[in-house]
Each structure stands twice: as structure tokens, then as C-alpha cells.
Structure 1
Amino acid sequence: MPLLEVTTPALRRQFLDLPARIYQNHPNWISPLDHDIEAVFDPKRNHNFTHGEAIRWVLTSPTSGEVIGRVAAFINHETPQTDPTLPVGGLGFFECIDDQAAANELFDAARQWLGQRGLAAMDGPINFGERDRFWGLLVSGFTEPNYGMFYHPPYYQQLFETYGFEVFFKQYTCYREVATHLHPTFSRAFEKYAQQYPTFRFEHANKRDAEKLARDFHHVYNLAWANHSGVNPMPLEKARELVKEMKPVLDERLLWFAYHQDEPVAFFVSLPELNQIFKHVGRNFNLWGKLRFLWEKRKYMQRTDKKLFGVIFGVVPEWQGKGIESALMVHARAEFMRAGYSEIEMNWIGDFNPRMLALTRSIGARIYKTHVTYRFLFDRTRPFERSPIIR
């Protein structure tokens, strides 16, 4: 089957258009913005190109010439490798008709390209960027996707596993109604830290002070997350970029921080669930799309049954297990309700993070969707090991 590297505007358009055909009979599918997909492959907008490289292909039918599949492969040379004998690359943005031979062509292309560059395995489907978006294969909970998360048809799981991919880890999206009562232990933690004000304080962000928001996020993120397998430390400039990107859609009442003597020690960062807006806007974020977005956002923010999604939660190691996260949840929940949010989905809780899973259970959340990050070892005789558990 002809495999074409995406190097022209016409091929880029075919790469972007394929999902609309694959998902035409999937009413829960919400298309990602073309703008967001293209940003991943633009060296001017994706800083990972400064220490990495990426390639993407479309696969066409040998009879009709119609595009029937797509995939990308990438290397980030600064991604921490837990095992120096097993350098790992990435495969992502996979879409394909229900045909194992076609899927194999796409997987083979990524495998060969990565192998030629000295890699010994590939993880997929993942993003050429941060883990907060375009990461993992949906295998359970085929409901409307949250912004930045892919929806996939059920048959993709078989395409991956038949080829030989094995589960490296699972990522759960958990759901709860905001009004659901928290366990009494949360209130006790709230009261404990309230008695220590102002040594300890809990505040939502002020979006008018973007620099403080970026610095506080950067501080907690690097202490709480940057030592995890496959997670790079975040430069302050990247944190500033994230805040700048979020600002048009940010609701400051959804970004909560805990402070000890003015040092940020925990955060719970959430956003309005943007796909509830974008599903009325479409894929094209041109001038008309932006105007439509502003109108739909205005209507959505006036509702009292809004959905938010948890982007990231973290506690610096020194304060883990001491109730900081419980007190933070009490503060956040009260503000969410005042702001008219009735549902919350918490993205990206790895099965390698039992503490976070325990916390979600403790607040009455249930697993709602499951994405899988697969790994394929190029040496098929090498024993496979799953992602290590965070202790």
C-alpha cells in the first residue's frame, strides 16, 4: 500500500481530514481542532523540535488512491530514559480503517524509522509533547472526549495488540458530581489547616497576575512530577507559555494552590470542559471559528450545569500524605459549586500512581474512561516490563 510522507499542503489536508470519514458514524466523536494538531508538527510552535524530530505519513489504498490510514513517529532526545539499554521513541496520531494489514504498514513505518535512529522500542499512541493531551488509546468509556483527548473506535485496540503492542500503563479518567459530599476526613484536614492560617493558606489563581501563576505552577510541577518516568522537568518559559495559552479559556476559580509560608506546595489545575463548546464550533479555528467560540463560550459560562475537567494535580514530596490535598479539595469543591459547575472529569490518572487513584476513590469519583499507553519492543525476545509503580 502506498505510504506517503506528509510534506505538502495537500498531504497535510489529507492527514487532517481522515478522521472525519472514520468517525462519521460515531455520534460521540468530537474532532480536535486542526490548529492544535498542526501545532504539534510545527517547529515554530512545538519546542520539542529543538531537541527532537518528527515525521508523519498517510497510507493510501492501492486501488482507489483514497487515504485509509495515518501515523506519526517522533523522538525527544531529552525525555528521561529509565533504562539506558532501552531507548524509547514515540508513535502517535494513528488513525486507520478496520484493516490489520493497513495498520501493520503504519506500525512498520514508525518502527523502521525509529530503529534507524537507534531506538529500541516505541510507545504509542502518544504525543510529541506533554502528556496532558493526545496521549493514549481509548479502550473503555466511549463517551464524548474531553478537550485534548482522542476518541477512538473499539477496533483500534485489536489493531495494536495483534501487531504485538503490550500495555505499558493505563490512564484513567474519573468522574464525580461536584455536589457529592466528601468523606469527613476531608473536613478534618480542612479544619486542621484552617487553624494554621496564614502559615498555610489555600487560594485560587489570579489570572491578572500571569507571572505568579506561571511561577507557582512551575515550582509545584517540577517537584511533584518531574521525577516520574518519562516526564521532563519544565522550564519556567514553558510554564509561561502554558499560562498564556490557557488565558483565553481559563476560569481562575478552577486553579487552586496550597501555600506553606508563601511557598506553593500543591495544586489542582482544572479548566472548563472546552469540548462542550468546541463541538458547536467545528475543526476550523479561523476568524469565524473564533467568533463562534466566543459566542458559544459566553452561553456556556452562564449555565449552572457546567462540566470541568481536572488537568493536573500534584503535591510536592515533602507534604504528600499529610492532608494538604484533602484540605485543597474542600476549598476547591466549594468554589466549583459557587461558580456553577456540576460535573467534573479528572484526566490522566495513571495506574502506576496508586496514591492518586486512592485519592480519587476517597472523593467518590469512579473510573469513567480508560486510555492505554502501549509499548512495542523491537527485540521480540526481550522480556516485557510494565511501567514501574510510584511508591
Structure 2
Amino acid sequence: MPLLLEVTSPALVRQFLDLPARLYQNQPQWISPLDPEIEAVFDPAKNPNFAHGEAIRWVLTDEAGTTIGRVAAFINHEAPQSDPTLRVGGMGFFECEDDQTAANILFEACHQWLASRGLAAMDGPINFGERDRFWGLLTDGFTEPNYGMFFHQPYYQQLFEQYGFEIYFRQYTCYREVAAPLHQAFYKAFDKYAQQYPTFRFEHARKRNAEKLAHDFHHVYNLAWANHSGISPMSLDKARDLVKQMQPVLDERLLWFAYHHDEPVAFFVSLPELNQLFKHVSPRFGLLSKLRFLWEKRKYQARSDKKMFGVIFGVVPAWQGQGVESALMVHARAEFMRAGYQDIEMNWIGDFNPRMLAVTRSIGARIFKTHVTYRYLFDREREFERSPIIR
């Protein structure tokens, strides 16, 4: 009989972290997330969501004591809710052998824990944190995962759906070759705004001016993205913290802004695709791994076939639909190529955001991977509704 154990000791933490290495040992596409980054999610001293939420995690063992599954559940009482009549919690960090009974035990543990705290549904697999990490189940495009995202076993989809999870929204990761030509309309926009210099200008950030980078990012993010479904406004201190965290891996040539009279009105923020470095180091990320990372980073910077990851793209509402994003893309693409970047994958876009998907298609990108965020309603008679579309 399988045994469900709450993770409350260092030994059980180790079982939680080590399970994926066994499940994916025959899949070379898998790249392990770093253990310290997983553990930070469950550390109240490092995860601010504990200030207004709580989390729990379990491992599942068989009769011989072998770990066969793991999962976590969490509540964020301040998370935006698209439906005020439905209080939704989260589950995630799911890994399991191909065993529906075992998976159901893990899912049911999350269900009961959340229901006992007054919640009416759970979304999963998601993160106890922001949507840019550890969010969604991979269902198509089983290639190397980008940094901050999980690779999943193909059979996980059946485990979720057999239990009763339904698709809340699909998440699309898009890809393009950096050197692929842009539509002529992009160059018309480029010429239009070139004639308005210096009223309009386009430039990449400077690492040495971290405070300006934080201010500019904070300004555009809150105007372009905050108050979308599931996205909260960002404080300036949070923006400063993000810049500080990214400093060791930033390539300033990948951080592009458009300015109107010195006001930032659009951004396209990217990073080197860090899993191309982390796949060479141990997930425990001790001293030797950190030294190996620095060596791999130095080698990677010299390459002319680098891969980049588009983190976020946005235009403040007052300038949307006026070609600013097109002109920005022409400037950025030229610099990306000079810096030796060959491929770009972009942070996922939900199917609830058709406008942003259209923008992505307009630059010649195609869907390369699909993740799914599922929802499970505890009242099985309640009518299921998909995520609202952003208009």
C-alpha cells in the first residue's frame, strides 16, 4: 500500500528533490531545475507569498520505501481571482510514476487539504509564486525546457485528465530564428519613428545603471501588464529585486526599451537561455557547480549560435497599435544578431491573450511548445468555465 508522507525533514526534502532524476533518466531532453531554486519556493524566508498564504508538500512511497511520486499544494489569499464566487488554490511540483492510483492519491491530498481551508477549486500544475516559473503541464514540444520551466513525462496529461482536471487555459511558447526577416511593415514603422528622434528613441539598458533599469521596467510593466487576469501590480522594490537577481546573467544587449520624451513606453526584455548553461552543472549547485557555471558562461558568451529567451514584451496602452513595438523589434533584432544570438524562444503566452499571440505571429514566430494549466472544481456539478479572454 503506498504511503503518503508530508515533507517535514531533510531526508524527505532530499526524496522530494531526487525523484525526477530517476523518472527522467532515459530522457536526454530533461534538464533538472536547481535544487536551491525549488527549495526557495517552500522557504518562508525567501518566498514572500508566505506572508499571505501557506504551502504543504508530500512524497509518496511504495511498500519498499521507494519514492514513486511527489506534489505540493498552496494557497495565496491575495492572488487575483477571475471569478469572485470561486476561491481557487494551487497544486504543483507534481512528479509521478505512470500509475493512476498513485497520481490520484497525490491529487486527492491536495484536494482535501485545500477544501479543508475553504477553497472550492485547484489549478495545477502551478507555482506558489509568479507565473513566469514552474507553471503548467508540458503537453506538446518535448524538447529541452527553458530555464524556470519543467519538462514533463507525456503520460502526465492522462494522469491529470483521468482524475478530472479540465483545461483552464493553454500556454504557448513560440520560437523564431533571430535572423529570419521581418515583414516590411516593421521597417516602415522603424522609418516613421527614426524621423521623430530624439522625441522617440530606442535603446538597450545599461547594466551599470541598475536603478534606471528597475524604474523603466516597473513603469512599463504596471501600465502594460498589471490588472490582466492573474497578474498583480509590481512594486518598485520588487522591480529592483528582480534586476538584482538577474545581474549575474544579464546581457544588456537583450534589454530593449522605447522612450517618448524620456518616458519608457515599451519594452522587450530577454535573457540568455540559462538552461544551456545549467544543464552542465549539478542541480545541488554547490561550490564546484558554481565554478563550472562561470566557466560555461564564459564559453557561451563567445559563441555565435547562442539561444535567448524572451521574458516579457509590452507596450503601455497609450501607444498600443501605433507601430512602436515594430520599430522596437527592428532595433532589437539587429543588436541580437551582432551579439551572436541565433534562436529565440519566448515566455509563454496564454490562449486567453489572443492580441499578444497575434503580435507574436506578426514577427514570424510559431508555436513550439504547449503547456496546460488545468483546473479541478471540487463541486463536480458546477459548470466549468475556461479562463476569461483578455479583450
TM-score past 0.5 threshold: yes
The 2-side partners of 1:142 and 1:355 are apart by: 26
Offset from partner CA, 1:250-270 (integer Å, 9 cap, x none): 101001111111111111110
Q: Which residue of 1 aligns with 2:303?
A: 303
Partner of 1:90: 90
Q: TM-score, normalised by structure 1?
A: 0.98
Separation in 2 of the partners of 1:310 and 1:236? Answer: 22
Partner-residue secondary structure (3-state), 2:190? helix
Q: Does 1:57 align with 2:78?
A: no
User: In the aligned structure 2, how far is the partner of 1:356 from the partner of 1:83?
Assistant: 23
The answer on 1:249 being equivalent to 2:224 is no
Report the residue type matching 1:40 in the other structure: V
Counterpart CA distance in 2 for 1:250 and 1:148 is 16
Q: Give the secondary-structure state (helix, strand or coil) at the position aligned to 2:230.
A: coil
In the aligned structure 1, how far is the partner of 2:165 from the partner of 2:321?
Answer: 35
Deviations 1:156-200 (A, max 9, x none): 000001111111111111111100000000001111111111111
SS of 1:95's equivalent in the other structure is strand
Partner of 2:273: 273
**Does the aligned pair in 1 maintain the 2:205–2:257 contact within 8 Å?**
yes
For residues 378 and 158 of structure 1, the distance between their equivalents in structure 2, rounded to whole angstroms, comes to 19
DSSP 3-state at the match of 2:25: coil
1:313-328 mapped onto 2 (5 Å cutoff): 313-328=313-328
| Amino acid corresponding to residue 349 of structure 2 in structure 1 | I
1:200-219 aligned within 5 A: 200-219=200-219
**Contact 2:82–2:388 (CA under 8 A) maintained in structure 1:** no
Q: Which amino acid aligns with 1:47?
A: P
Instruction: Name the residue aligned to 2:24.
Output: 23
1:1-391 paired onto structure 2 within 5 Å = 1-61=2-62, 63-391=63-391
Alpha-carbon displacement from aligned partner over 1:281-329 (angstroms, at most 9, x marks no partner): 1212111111100000000110000000101111111211111111111
Mean Cα deviation higher: 349-358 or 12-21: 349-358
- In 1, Cα distance between the equivalents of 2:21 and 2:119? 33
Displacement after TM superposition at 1:46 (Å): 0.8
Cα deviation for residue 58 of structure 1 reads 0.5
- Structure 1 position 380, deviation (Å): 0.7
Contact 1:277 1:293 in 2 (8 A): yes
Whichever residue aligns with residue 135 of structure 2, its letter is W
Structure 1 window deviating more from structure 2 (223-232 vs 95-104): it is 223-232
Identity over the aligned pairs, expressed in percent?
80
Residues 78, 232 of structure 1: 8 Å contact kept: no
SS of 1:98's partner is coil
Question: After the TM superposition, which parts of structure 1 deviate over 6 Å for at least 4 consecutive aligned residues?
Answer: none
Contact 2:34 2:285 in 1 (8 A): yes
Give the aligned residue type for 1:241: D
- What CA distance in whole angstroms lies between the structure 2 residues aligned with 1:167 and 1:261? 44
The Cα shift of 1:109 comes to: 0.6
Inter-partner Cα distance in structure 2 for 1:300 and 1:241: 26
Instruction: Tell me the SS of whatever aligns to 1:91.
Output: strand
Between the aligned partners of 1:328 and 1:388, the Cα distance in structure 2 is 29
How big is the shift at 1:65? Answer: 1.1
Q: Which amino acid aligns with 1:157?
A: Q
Query: 2:54 touches 2:76 (CA, 8 Å); kept in 1?
Result: yes
Deviation track 1:219-262 (CA, whole Å, cap 9, x = no partner) reads 11111111111111111111111111100001010011111111
SS of equivalent to 1:247: helix
**Partner Cα distance (1:211, 1:251) in 2:** 16
Listed one character per residue, the Cα deviations across residues 189-215 of structure 1 (whole Å, up to 9, x for unaligned) are 111111111111111111111111111
Q: How many residue pairs align between the two structures?
A: 390
1:342 deviation in Å? Answer: 0.6
> Equivalent residue of 2:347, what SS?
strand
Distance 1:75 1:259 in 2: 39
Q: Distance in 2 between matches of 1:147 and 1:305?
A: 18
Give the match's secondary structure for 1:102. Answer: helix
CA distance in 1, matches of 2:98, 2:86: 31
SS in 2 for 1:180: coil
RMSD: 0.8
Cα deviation, 1:3-32, whole Å, max 9, x if unaligned, reads: 111111000000000000100111100000
Deviations 1:136-155 (A, max 9, x none): 00000000001101000100
Cα distance between partner residues in 2 of 1:380 and 1:196? 58
Alpha-carbon shift at residue 133 of structure 1 (Å): 0.9
Report which stretch shifted further, 260-269 or 31-40: 260-269
**In structure 1, how many angstroms separate the alpha carbons of the residues matched to 2:10 and 2:130?**
26
Amino acid aligned to 2:386: R
Kept in 2: contact 1:91–1:124 (CA 8 A): yes
Equivalent AA in structure 1 for residue 389 of structure 2: I
Per the alignment, in what secondary structure is the counterpart of residue 327 of structure 1? helix
Contact 1:56 1:72 in 2 (8 A): yes
Instruction: State the SS of the aligned residue for 1:58.
Output: strand
